[in-house]
Amino acid sequence: MVRGAAGILLPLIVPAIIAMIIWGLPGDPATTICPQGTCGETARQALIERYSLTSPYAFLYSWLSRAIFLDFGISPVTIAGKEVWALVATSVPNTALVMLLALGPITVGTFGAALGWFPRQLDAVFQGIGVVPAVIFALFCVAFITIFDLGGIGAFGIPMFEYDNWEVSPMKLLAGGLVLGLADGALSGAVSGTRSVFDTEFKQRYIGIAILRGERPMVNAAPNVLPTLIGQFRSRVLHLLSGTVIIEVILGIEGLGDLLWRATLDNDYFVVLGAAWGFALISSFLLIFQAISGVVVELMIRRSPSVPT
């Protein structure tokens, strides 16, 4: 219940914190959001009226009621005059691709540890790789791509992804996914986390009884460890999402993390609000998914036949 409530509250909390920051900074909020050098007096007045910049509560309500319909406002600084929604929408595909690629090593690590594909001696290797910080790993990849000139079209015969308004080198995406999936203990965490959950569960008495009955321990333990594994998976996805900022900036991938970074440096509050809300929504969805799956697994366990007669 607490988890579900946190999931519902999260998309409200993140913009609320940013609104508090805007009002906490010296000067009036309209000037903070759109500095005088960027916006004229007329534009600032229009901003005040459009987003009710009279109080943080009114602003939050106004911004959220528009954000629900994907109206995140207009970027005054990062790409002046461009809709924040358009910026976010352009960034999401790259981030989604990097995330999907990063989920590969983590999924393999989780299943490998659960099903015993990897010998335990390999754990030290995974931990060694995991110690490398993402920034160093990303720099190594950039150096590799630059030295061997793999960043452009046709690297290794893979065509460059080109769409209407964005393009990205497949090697950079691949490197981004690899770095995210391996660095900062992502893969080693997936392997050791899954192993420790199963090791603890296999020590339970019911597993011993299951073995005596000739049943497979994995089949008995899987439903019980599923909520914990889902929780671990959620925190790993969040970890990957956080990591996209570093990876995308260093590798030059124009994704959501890169957008958030540029907006932070530009003090572009509307873009930060839009991007941070996007991250909060993903996190909220994961939290609610974990809460629901926990309930479903609990119901399944209760309804399953206890002992065959």
Partner 1 sequence: MKPRVHVIRWVGLSVGLVLLLSLALMAYFAPDTLGQADITRRVASPFDLPPFGADRMGRPLLYYALQGAAIVLWPSLIAGAIVAAFAIIAGLARCAGLAWFDTLLQIFSELMGALPRMVVVLVVALAMPRDYTSLLPVAIAWAFLAAPGAMDEAATAAGRLGGSRFVEALRAHGFSAPRIYLYHIITLNLRSVVIRQAAEVVMQVIFLEIALSYLVQVPPVQPALTHSEEFKSWADILYLGFQTATGGNWFGAGSLIHALVLGLVLVAMPAVMAHAFRLAARER
Q: Which of 249, 292, 294, 295 binds partner 1 (CB under 8 A)?
A: 249
CB nearer partner 1, residue 112 or residue 268: 268
Shortest distance (Å) from residue 262 CB to partner 1: 9
What sign does the dihedral 115-118-123-126 (CA atoms) show? negative
- The verdict on 280 binding partner 1 (CB under 8 A) reads yes
> Applying CB under 8 A, does 9 fall inside the site for partner 1?
yes
Other Cβ atoms less than 10 A from the Cβ of 276: the count is 19
Contacts of 240 (CB under 8 A, 6+ apart): 99, 102, 103, 106, 180, 181, 186
Instruction: Give dist(CA 117, CA 119) in Å, integer.
Output: 7
Q: Which of 16, 48, 129, 139 binds partner 1 (CB under 8 A)?
A: 139
Q: Residue 62: beta bridge partners?
A: none
Among 16, 267, 289, 295, binds partner 1 (CB under 8 A): 267
Q: Where are the alpha helices (DSSP H) in 148-268?
A: 170-182, 186-202, 205-212, 217-251, 256-265
Per-residue contact string for residues 18-57; x = within reach of partner 1 by CB under 8 A = x--x--xxx-------------------------------
- Closest CA relative to residue 250, chosen from 102, 134, 97, 94: 134
At residue 255, what are phi and psi to the nearest 5 degrees? Answer: -115, -170
- Sorted by sequence, the CB contacts under 8 Å of residue 89 that are 6+ apart come out as none
Options 59, 72, 233, 279; binder of partner 1; rule CB under 8 A: 279
Q: Does residue number 218 form part of the binding site for partner 1 (CB under 8 A)?
A: no
Q: Is 142 in the site for partner 1 (CB under 8 A)?
A: yes
Shortest Å, Cβ 153 to partner 1: 20
Report if residue 17 touches partner 1, rule: CB under 8 A.
yes
Q: CA distances (Å), 104 to each of 174, 180, 300, in order?
A: 11, 10, 28
Exactly one of 106, 113, 241, 297 binds partner 1 (CB under 8 A); that residue is: 241
**Which parts of this chain interact with partner 1 (CB under 8 A)?**
2-3, 5-7, 9-10, 13-14, 17-18, 21, 24-26, 131, 133-136, 139, 142-143, 146-147, 184, 235, 238-239, 241-246, 249-250, 257, 260-261, 264-265, 267, 269, 272, 275-276, 279-280, 283-284, 286-287
